[in-house]
Structure 1
Amino acid sequence: MAGEQAISSFPTVVYATIAVGLAVLFYFRKFLFYKCPSPLNPAPPEVPGLPLIGNLLQLKEKKPHQTFAKWAEIYGSIYSIRTGASKMVIINSADVAKQAMVTSYSSISTRKLSNALKILTYDKCMVATSDYDDFHKMVKRHILTGVLGANAQKRHCSHREIMIKNALNHFRAHTENNPHQAVNFRKIFRDELFGLSLKEALGTDVESSIYVEDLGTKLSRDEIFEVLVHDPMMGAIEVDWRDFFPYLRWIPNKSVETKIKRMDARRAAVLKTLIEEQKKRIALGQEKNCYLDYLLLEAKTLTEKQLMMLLWEVIIESSDTTMVAAEWALYELAKDAARQDCLYKEIQKVCGSNEVTEEHLSQLPFLNAVFHETLRKYSPAPIVPVRYVHEDTRLGGYHIPAGIQIVINLYGCNMDRAQWEEPEKWMPERFLDSKYDPADMHKTMAFGAGKRVCAGALQAMLIACTAIGRFVQEFEWRLKEMEEGDVDTFGLTSIKLNPLHVMITPRGK
């Protein structure tokens, strides 16, 4: 029996020995060809790590943005780390980040995707994850013209108004039926945002359920949300160890890859069903103001997969990013009665007995400050998707050679004490300073900068600011017991780990 076990395990031992040998050769090869940095071209400081694995063990808590910010206090705002075979330069300074995103953009315009993201984005078929090439320029033009640009936003204004009214109706019903219980803010607001995203992308919401032929089952609206939004968001942060050791990619890692491919198959099946339903409508001559109708008319060179990916991008970004900002803003306002009262008085002064609308936003500086301060402290994407340096460049006074990956840690930039006074505190009034242009939507880098600035910035601002204004105008918000210290986030995202449960009371009662 022992002999049989030894024989059966022999191939595994051989593969493991070869893998380790290759890893050692790959690691020590750099010393054979290493050239000391020139005094005129210094390299960024390097965080000490272990042979072969580099700094991977130091990132095991899965909140790398926080670890990166701590290292910045020791090694400076720009430094390098190693994650297995890869070397990364980490940026924790707004000035250096702007260099990377604007000044040196031509040298750092290529995306570096994990294996999970390659599968989930059909290898860069999204605006947000594509390289800056002709495809990126084409699809960004489509998304701005069809759904997210200023003119498109005007066309979709009624959808946003209905979304906020629906959410308010749910809040009113809660105060009437359960006045002494906390309301689940996320459940209500996320559901309405999801409906808005479906209307913008496909022309209609899903009322209750749909039958998905490729899956052979009927899915409820909540299940559709899980398949289209929640599951891919979790899949996007799934770690495949082969991402850190690309020269060992030939070694199977079926558990992770199978999981991501299953997510993709379910998502594709649901999207196919939703699209086919709308194509039947279009065939009958029933046109709607939505992204699908626009793409089928104006972007006929897109493949079926590219079409699905562009529609999915609108759905997932509208459903998630704005929800994160609004939830944290209401959390902070519910915790801080004085600042909530300040916002309410501003709204009363500007709007009187009229409801807050998008037209009022330019007259509500404190409301805008609440939005920007929330983005600063709780940036929906703490880390900008990794970029790849494809030609030598300089950042922060350091020489960055081609082949290095660049990680812009927005969390670190926004916690930088050299730029922000008491950055750990939520203080909206900091954005009332005259040095900030009231009309500037990019006071923080939450939406990126330069040529890759987020296409959805305008919509996020319109939805979040109008919703926050209307919610505070109609209700007093306060945290329930034990909620104040509940500030943990989900992994490497800024999503609140536990949904916000908050007490609301109609104004005047």
Structure 2
Amino acid sequence: MEGVIFAIGGGTLFALAVAVYFWYLKSYATSHQSKHLPPVPAVPGVPVLGNLLQLKEKKPYMTFTKWADMYGPIYSIKTGATSMVVVSSNEIAKEALVTRFSSISTRKLSKALEVLTSDKTMVAMSDYDDYHRTVKRNILTGILGPNAQKKHRVHRDIMIENISNQLHAFVKNSTEEEVNFRKIFQSELFGLAMRQTLGKDVESLYVEDLGITMKRDEIFQVLVVDPMMGAIEVDWRDFFPYLKWVPNRKFENTIQQMYVRREAVMKALIKQHKNRIASGENLNSYIDYLLSEAQTLTDNQLLMSLWEPIIESSDTTMVTTEWAMYELAKNPKIQDRLYKDIQSACGSDKITEEKLSQIPFISAIFHETLRRHSPVPIIPLRYVHEDTELGGYHVPAGTQLTVNIYGCNMEKNVWENPEKWNPERFMRENETNDFQKTMAFGGGKRVCAGSLQAMLNSCIGIGRMVQEFEWKLREKAEEDINTLGLTTQKLHPLRAIIKPRK
């Protein structure tokens, strides 16, 4: 009997979902039939689900790009009970992020991101309001702005020397083996993030709320790896708001566990730092700035303000730099040219940040890698809160908007042979390299606060590694361009044979 009741209940629920879906389509078409709406791709969506199945089959950013080639740079699709406009054009993306910002300034987060961002309590994911402006001012003044970057220069110098020393030690002990680039570079980026944010790196930590002592690798897993994976977790209820009351226990438990563990570790780190202050220890860190200059922050806002630069400094820069070193190892002629440019500018001295402006080819490599291997292929959804116009089309209030950065950087009418990694395209005369060239850092009032640090860390890392070592892949090594899940991170860590330069 219980099985029969369940079957009837499930059938009723499905019928209700179908009815609501078609009612939504009818009302949407009626209210907007006189408007010039973005085109709808002729792809075989299905009732209730819309185009969700097509997005599940492949990486969304690649599917969006394929549809842009067929139907144009802006179009509208159905994702369950929601309507989404997809932009895969640099020009229209700038229009959305800059010109039409006042109509599209609100974030639309998935359930996973709502939990992990503590309901938008971080700069990158908050709505553009007084809180956003306050926290962004804090992060620019205290850690990521030009003056703060000068103050934290010592931490970056420590990072690059640690990387160099580890690579030289590896070569000394393993002449013919492949070095795991990611293992070294990612660990040192995490160390940099910890020193900038909390004054010191960490080897172990007693986490009182969990009753355990964590080693450094476990701390990195909790603060960086787990939240990054959790951020791309999909809850089907995100696409059917009218069914949000239906439980999804497995998903909820997974995300909640990530939240609890991160909170516990961050609380332990903050407590440890306060104990250092009480003992008279003086450290050059972001937490010192926040504790003295941002006393209006709640405990939760303080925690999130400190966690954000840790996760963001440890991930996207690693993705970009790893792809750059992979491409350089695969293209020895380009690597040789970079080495000669470095030698010309630096001679026998080690490359420093002051020398970067004299070696524009490093900047070209950085920007071309951002273009070809966009570390954030799709920006988090924006919510259109008032009727607006994009690309000549009417976009009604209530629409979700996504900018497909990967698609913007694959536009054939903008980039010649876009599939090819070619830094020369950024070396043309009378053309400056700005951060919005590839839209990798967003644009307008919400441009990424960490763009300067990302460029410095990646460019000086690329420069020192090429200046001191020759990088190559094993002979007959297959092209390794597979990526991890919905992201553009390399599926397999870069492994290369390195040989010290004379």
Q: Please report the TM-score for the alignment, with normalisation by the length of structure 2.
A: 0.97
**Correspondence for 1:448:** 442
Query: Is contact 1:475–1:505 with CA below 8 Å preserved after alignment?
Result: yes
| Residues 24 and 81 in structure 2, CA contact (< 8 A), matched pair in contact too | no
Aligned twin of 2:145? 149
Matching of residue 396 in structure 1 with residue 391 in structure 2: yes
Out of 174, 179, 182, the position equivalent to 2:178 is: 182
- Which of 119, 123, 130 in structure 1 is aligned with 2:119? 123
Q: Tell me: CA distance 1:353–1:228, structure 2 relative to 1, closer, same or farther (3 Å).
A: same
Question: In the alignment, what sits opposite 1:238?
Answer: 233
- AA of the residue aligned to 1:423: P
Deviates more, 1:332-341 or 1:9-18: 9-18
Find the partner of 1:252 among 247, 253, 256: 247
SS of the aligned residue for 2:30 comes to coil
1:80 paired to 2:76: yes
Aligned to 1:3: none
Change (3 A) 1:36 1:266: closer
How far apart, in 2, do the equivalents of 1:482 and 1:267 lie? 43
Letter in 2 for 1:350: A
**Contact 1:436 1:443 survives alignment (8 Å):** no
**Which moved further from structure 2: 282-291 or 494-503?**
282-291
Counterpart code for 2:453 = Q
Are positions 1:213 and 2:208 aligned together? yes
2:499 to 480, 502, 505: 505
- CA distance in structure 2 between the partners assigned to 1:367 and 1:484 by the alignment: 26
2:331 equivalent in structure 1: 336
Q: C-alpha deviations, 1:160-184, integer Å up to 9, x for none?
A: 0110000010100111000100000
Which of residues 414, 420, 445 is equivalent to 1:425?
420
CA distance in 1, matches of 2:382, 2:435: 24
**Contact residue 472 and residue 498 of structure 2 kept, 8 A:** yes
Amino acid at match of 2:395: I
For 1:36-185, list aligned pairs within 5 A: 37=32, 41-47=35-41, 48=43, 49-185=45-181
- Give me the whole-angstrom Cα distance separating, in 1, the residues matched to 2:426 and 2:30: 46
1:222-268 deviation per Cα after TM superposition (whole angstroms, max 9, x unaligned): 11100110011000001111111111111110001100000111111
Tell me which moved more, 42-51 or 129-138. Answer: 42-51
Measured in 2, the distance between the counterparts of 1:181 and 1:276 equals 42
CA displacement at 1:25 relative to structure 2? 2.4
Q: Does 11-20 or 110-119 show the bigger shift? A: 11-20
1:163 corresponds to which letter in structure 2? M
Residue 30 of structure 1 deviates from its aligned partner by 2.9
Q: Tell me how large the CA RMSD over aligned residues is.
A: 1.3
The one-letter amino acid of 2:495's match is H
Amino acid at match of 2:484: F
Per-residue deviation, residues 242-301 of structure 1 (Å, max 9, x unmatched): 111111111110001100000111111111111100011122332322111111111112
Output the CA distance in 2 between the equivalents of 1:484 and 1:250. 48
Change (3 A) 1:138 1:303: same
Counterpart check, 1:313 vs 2:308: yes
State the 1:352 CA deviation: 0.6
Contact 2:85–2:400 (8 Å) recurs in 1: yes
Report the counterpart of residue 10 of structure 2 in structure 1. 16
Aligned to 2:347: 352
Which one-letter code corresponds to 1:334 in the other structure?
A: A
Any stretches of 5+ residues in structure 1 without a counterpart? 1-6
- SS of residue paired to 2:438: coil
What's the CA shift for 1:484? 4.4
Please report how far the alpha carbon of residue 428 of structure 1 lies from its aligned counterpart in structure 2 after TM superposition: 0.2
Question: 1:313 deviation in Å?
Answer: 0.6
- Give deviations 1:125-184, integer Å, cap 9, x for gaps: 010000011110000000000100000000000100110000010100111000100000
The secondary structure found in structure 2 opposite 1:60 is helix
Offset, 1:480: 2.2
Shift of the alpha carbon at 1:89?
0.3
Output the CA distance in 2 between the equivalents of 1:326 and 1:31.
45
Q: CA separation in 2, counterparts of 1:384 and 1:31?
A: 26
Pairing of 1:377-388 with structure 2 (within 5 A) = 377-388=372-383
Check 1:162–1:397 CA distance in 2 against 1; reply closer, same or farther (3 A cut): same
Contact persistence 1:19–1:248 (CA under 8 A): no
Displacement of 1:481: 4.3
- Supply the AA of the counterpart residue of 1:195: G
Quick one: which amino acid aligns to residue 449 of structure 1?
Answer: G
Q: 1:392 deviation in Å?
A: 0.3
Q: Give the superposition deviation at 1:366.
A: 0.7
Whole-angstrom CA distance in 2 between matches of 1:146 and 1:10: 62
Question: What is the Cα deviation at residue 11 of structure 1?
Answer: 5.0
Q: Secondary structure at the match of 1:270?
A: helix
Unaligned stretches of 5+ residues in structure 2: none
Amino acid at match of 1:43: L
Q: Distance in 2 between matches of 1:100 and 1:239?
A: 25
Give the superposition deviation at 1:37: 4.8
Distance in 2 between residues matched to 1:32 and 1:376, nearest whole Å? 40
Per the alignment, do residues 14 and 304 of structure 1 end up closer, same or farther by CA in structure 2, a change over 3 Å counting?
farther
Work out the number of aligned pairs and report it: 499
Identity across the alignment (%): 60
Which of residues 484, 488, 500 is equivalent to 1:490? 484
Q: Describe the SS at the equivalent of 1:35.
A: helix
In structure 2, distance between residues paired with 1:11 and 1:385: 40
Q: Does 1:228 align with 2:223?
A: yes
TM (normalized to structure 1)?
Answer: 0.96
**Alpha-carbon separation, structure 2, partners of 1:295 and 1:182:** 42
Once the two structures are TM-superposed, the CA of residue 371 in structure 1 deviates from its matched residue by 0.4
Q: Deviations over 1:400-424 (max 9, x none)?
A: 0000000000000000101000000
Question: How far 1:305 sits from its partner (Å)?
Answer: 1.3
Alpha-carbon distance in 1 for matches of 2:497, 2:305: 38
1:354-411: CA deviation from partner (whole Å, max 9, x where unpaired): 1110001111111110000000011110001100000000000100000000000000
TM-superposed deviation, 1:32: 4.1
Q: Aligned partners of 2:351 and 2:344: how far apart in 1?
A: 11
Which letter maps to 1:295?
Answer: L
Could you say which residue in structure 2 is the equivalent of 1:4? Answer: none
Q: Which amino acid aligns with 1:146?
A: G
**Post-superposition offset of 1:494:** 1.1
Tell me which amino acid in the other structure corresponds to 1:63. K
Report the CA distance between 1:433 and its aligned residue: 1.1
What's the offset of the Cα at 1:15?
3.9
* Counterpart code for 1:416: E
Does 2:405 align with 1:410?
Answer: yes
SS of residue in 1 equivalent to 2:221: helix
Which one of 15, 18, 22 corresponds to residue 28 of structure 1? 22
Which amino acid is 1:427 matched to? N
